[in-house]
A = this chain, B = another copy of it.
Amino acid sequence: MSLARGIDPANHRELVHTVKALAMDAVEAAKSGHPGMPMGAADLAVVLWTSFLDHDPSCPSWPNRDRFVLSAGHGSMLLYALLHLSGYDLPLAELRRFRQWGSKTPGHPEFGHTVGVEVTTGPLGTGFAAGVGMALAERLLAARFNRPGREIIDHHTYGIVSDGDLMEGVAAEAASLAGHLGLGKLIYLYDDNQISIDGATDITFTEDVLARFAAYGWHVARVDGHDPAAIAAALTAAKAETARPSLIACRTVIANGSPNKAGTSASHGAPLGAAEVAAAKAAMGWPAEPTFHVPEGVRARSAAAQQVQRQRREAWELRMAAYRDAHPELAAELGSLESGGADAAALAAIPTFAHGGKQATRKAVQTILNALVAAHPALVGGSADLAGSNGVVIAGEPANSPKNPGGRVIHFGVREHAMAAIANGLALHGVRPYVATFLVFSDFMRGAIRLAALMRLPVIYVLSHDSFWVGEDGPTHQPIEHTMALRLIPDLWVVRPGDARETAGAWRIALRRGVGAGPTAILATRQDLPVLAESREEIDVGAYVLWQPDGDAPLDGILIATGSELAATLAAARDLAGRGVRVRVVSMPCWEAFEAQTAAYRDEVLPPSLQRRLAVEAGSTLGWSRYAAHSQGIDHFGASAPGPELAERFGFTAEAIAQRYLALPA
Contact = CB atoms under 8 A, between A and B. Distances in A.
A325 interface: no
A476 B635 CA distance: 29
Given A107-B473, A413-B196, A489-B481, A204 B385 contact: yes
Contact of A173 (B100, B102, B169, B480): B169
A101 B471 CA distance: 10
Contacts of A401: 203
A508 to B, nearest CB: 25
A215, A216, A388 pick with most chain B CB within 10 angstroms: A215
A102 B211 CA distance: 48
Contact of A639 (B106, B120, B414, B636): B106
Contact of A121 (B197, B209, B453, B476): B476
A199 to B, nearest CB: 8
A474 B107 contact: yes
A216 B212 contact: yes
Chain A interface size band reads 35 or more
Interface in A440-455: 440-441, 443-444, 446-447, 450-451, 453-454
Contacts of A626: 622, 625
A165 B169 CA distance: 12
B108 A473 contact: yes
A79 interface: no
A471 B32 contact: yes
Interface in A472-527: 472-477, 480-481, 484-485, 487-491
A372 B615 CA distance: 45
Given A100-B641, A207-B180, A122 B473 contact: yes
A443 B482 CA distance: 12
A159 B215 CA distance: 23
A569 interface: no
A417 interface: yes
Contacts of A108: 473-474, 476-477, 640
A516 to B, nearest CB: 14
Contacts of A385: 164, 167, 196-198, 204
Contacts of A415: 167-169
A228 interface: no
A366 to B, nearest CB: 14
A207 B174 CA distance: 12
A328 interface: no
B414 A168 contact: yes
Given A198-B388, A204-B180, A387-B198, A101 B645 contact: yes
A399 interface: yes
A598 interface: no
A75 interface: no
A99 B413 contact: no
A412 interface: yes
A336 interface: no
A631 B627 CA distance: 15
A563 interface: no
Interface in A629-666: 635-637, 639-642, 645-646, 649
A447 B447 contact: no
A383 interface: yes
Given A101-B641, A414-B196, A168 B173 contact: yes
A73 interface: yes
A179 B207 contact: yes
B207 A164 contact: no
Contact of A176 (B100, B167, B411, B454): B167
Nearest to A473: B107
B417 A169 contact: yes
A101 B211 contact: no
B490 A476 contact: no
A32 B474 CA distance: 12
A217 interface: yes
Top-8 shortest CB links A-B: A169-B169, A106-B640, A122-B476, A101-B641, A481-B488, A211-B215, A172-B172, A204-B413
Given A196-B413, A485-B485, 14 more contacts: A32-B473, A101-B642, A108-B474, A168-B444, A169-B417, A197-B385, A198-B385, A417-B417, A417-B444, A451-B476, A453-B637, A481-B488, A484-B488, A490-B636
21 contacts: A32-B472, A99-B472, A99-B641, A101-B646, A101-B649, A106-B475, A122-B476, A122-B477, A123-B441, A164-B385, A169-B170, A196-B414, A197-B387, A198-B383, A198-B385, A205-B413, A206-B217, A208-B217, A446-B446, A453-B637, A622-B623
